[in-house]
Amino acid sequence: MGITFRKETFRDDYTFRNSPDHIRRFPFPFNEDSYMYAVNIEPHVVGPKGSVLENLIDVDEHYVAEMQDRALVLAEDPLRCQSLPHMTLAGWDLLELLMEQQALGYPEHFTLTRDGDRWRWINRPLGIDDTFTFGDTSTLPYGPMEYITRQSQGDFCILDQRDGNLWMDAGMVTTQADWSLDFDIGMNFFEWHAPVPLAHEKGIFIRALKFLTNIQQGKPARRLNWTMTINPRLDTSPENYHKWGPDRATVTPENVGQKVHLRVELQSFWRLPRSNGIVFPIRCYLIKMDELVTQPKWARRLHRVIRDLPEELATYKGLTRYRPTLIEWLSKLDDGSPTSPGFGPD
């Protein structure tokens, strides 16, 4: 049993694919035929077997390849992982959370054994077997946050809570949709959301901050966010814009199905017990249009969502350049029939 980890790349030859099972478990983010911001936050509780919510920290067939890609990004640019000095304790909190959740969800792949402060961590997919002293940074090859997030899918922002605000004071961010930890580090919630259009006017951030600062230990929350990426590239950072930005001009009616990917972020929010910080894992899922449209409901609905998206949002999400080509391609798969309620495929 266990997961069969794919050998694949997120750069150069782009061999990334989703297996048929993984297409069906893709976290499609639209539950109706249109999209607008909402404070779409809900309790992060375990969902149906076989879904990405089967475990609160999801490990899937892309795990090994994603961790290899992360190592490549870090080798080129160590600033993708930063932690201000007061955040080390929160790093230990995160290490505990991720080790516990991965070992709980995937015992065939991960094992955590504790004897007081003496911990042993076995990560079979990556061939790691380390014993260390919890709380003693000198017993690990990296700081606690870097150590565990080199072994966990998704980006991680660790937020310090003070003065009624959240501050992005630590993080491991290598698979982001065009934002930069190095730019945002030390900013508060309103500062790092400043570029988002429309939502400020709606008071969404004030309500969201209030919700987040009240997140309680033992009661994590989650939301979905989405954008699109050309080619299955995990690292779409501002630092590397020169590599991925021009791809947006390469979409043609012939290659839409292969090149255009829906990029969904499953964001969850957890109160960390020792530091009283909040960790915000941003788990990125990619699916190419050819894979997505194997589910007719998703094809019809995505057509309507992209077609009717407000201009400001399309611009913010960087879709402008290829949006007409995508809409034209998707329109051929929309027979006009109604879509069923809910996110899942029919």
Partner 1 sequence: MSTGTTKLDVVVSDVVPVNELVTRFHFRRRDGELLPTFSGGAHVVVEMRDGNRTRLNPYSLMGSPLDTREYTISVRRDDIGRGGSLFMHRSVHAGLEMVISYPVNLFSLDLRAKKHLMLAGGIGITPFMAQTAQLAGSGGNFELHYTCRTASLGTYADLLQQRYGRRVRLYHDDRNERVDLDRLLSSQPLGTHLYVCGPAGMINWVRDRAAVLGWPSETVHFEHFAAPQPGAPFDVTLAVSGKTIRVGEQQSLLEAIEAAGVDPPYLCRGGVCGQCETNVISYDGKFIHNDHWLSEEDHRSGCKIMPCVSRFEGKSLVLER
Q: Could you give the residue numbers annotated as active site?
A: 223
Nearer to partner 1, 159 or 302 (CB): 159
Nearer to partner 1, 164 or 342 (CB): 164
DSSP 29-76: --SSSS-------EE-----TTSTTSSSS---TTHHHHHHHHHHHHHH
Q: Note whether 137 and 143 are within 8 A (CB).
A: yes
Tell me if residue 182 falls in helix, strand or coil. Answer: helix
Shortest Å, Cβ 219 to partner 1: 6
Rounded Cα–Cα distance for residues 21 and 173 (Å): 27
Shortest Å, Cβ 90 to partner 1: 8
274 binds partner 1 (CB under 8 A): yes
Interacting stretch for partner 1, rule CB under 8 A, among 72-80, 217-225, 231-239, 256-264?
A: 217-225
Among 22, 24, 162, 193, binds partner 1 (CB under 8 A): 162
217 binds partner 1 (CB under 8 A): yes
Shortest Å, Cβ 273 to partner 1: 4
Single out the residue of 113, 160, 183 nearest to residue 280, CA to CA. Answer: 160
Nearer to partner 1, 96 or 334 (CB): 96
276 binds partner 1 (CB under 8 A): yes
Q: Note whether 225 and 277 are within 8 A (CB).
A: no
127 binds partner 1 (CB under 8 A): no
3-state secondary structure 161-178: EECCEEEEEEEECCCCEC
202 binds partner 1 (CB under 8 A): no
- Which residues have CB under 8 Å from 251's CB, separation 6+? 230, 259, 260, 321, 322, 325, 326
Single out the residue of 83, 90, 110 nearest to residue 5, CA to CA. Answer: 110
Shortest Å, Cβ 96 to partner 1: 8
Among 20, 127, 195, 218, binds partner 1 (CB under 8 A): 218
**Binding site residues, partner 1, CB under 8 A:** 84-87, 89, 160-163, 210, 214, 216-219, 273-276
